[in-house]
Copies of this chain bind each other. A is one copy, B any other.
Amino acid sequence: MFLGQFDHNIDAKGRLTIPSNFREQAPEGFFVTKGFDTNLIAYPREVYTHMAEDINALSVTDPESRALRRMFFSNTVELSYDGAGRILLPAFLREAAQITTTCKLVGNGDNVEIWAMELWQVENQKNGGADTNSGRWAAYNISTRGR
């Protein structure tokens, strides 16, 4: 399970060091894709391939399905580590997430989110309030169930 958050820098060539902790959990690298919130999402192979199976099952004749399939695969890239534990983010993904120098790597359960630092801070501000979050827990009925 990916947990916690890390601040890392991207070098001039677009390479990003993955926290060693995350590397251990995804030794072959990540499938990195555009997220829904001007960020990137990195999935370990198993997780991504399950989603890909769902996508592959869609109709080829339905234009909506074709568009979804196209967006799904074309916005993803498979990346593995160099000798220093870095991945190279292609330009189109960096631009999509407005990533230039510093970013926040966020453990997110079965995946890792990658945010431009500035955007992360904005996002965090929106979601920071204790009230907001306890409200959410309530809405989704989340508890420890006394385990």
Contacts and interface: CB of A to CB of B under 8 A. Distances in A.
Interface of A: 1-5, 31, 36-38, 43, 46-47, 50-52, 54-56, 58, 61, 63-71, 73-78, 90, 92, 106-111, 113, 123, 126-127, 130, 133-134, 136-137, 140-147
Count of chain copies: 2
A36 B61 CA distance: 9
A5 B70 CA distance: 10
A34 B83 CA distance: 34
- Max chain B C-beta neighbours (<10 A), residue from A31, A64, A127: A127
A142 B48 CA distance: 11
Given A74-B106, A74-B107, A109-B56, A92 B5 contact: yes
Contacts of A144: 43, 47, 50-51, 110-111
Contacts of A5: 74-75, 92
B36 A73 contact: no
Given A108-B73, A130-B37, A1 B52 contact: yes
A78 to B, nearest CB: 6
A37 B63 CA distance: 9
A67 B126 contact: yes
A56 to B, nearest CB: 6
Contact of A127 (B46, B70, B130, B147): B70
A64 B1 CA distance: 21
B106 A50 contact: no
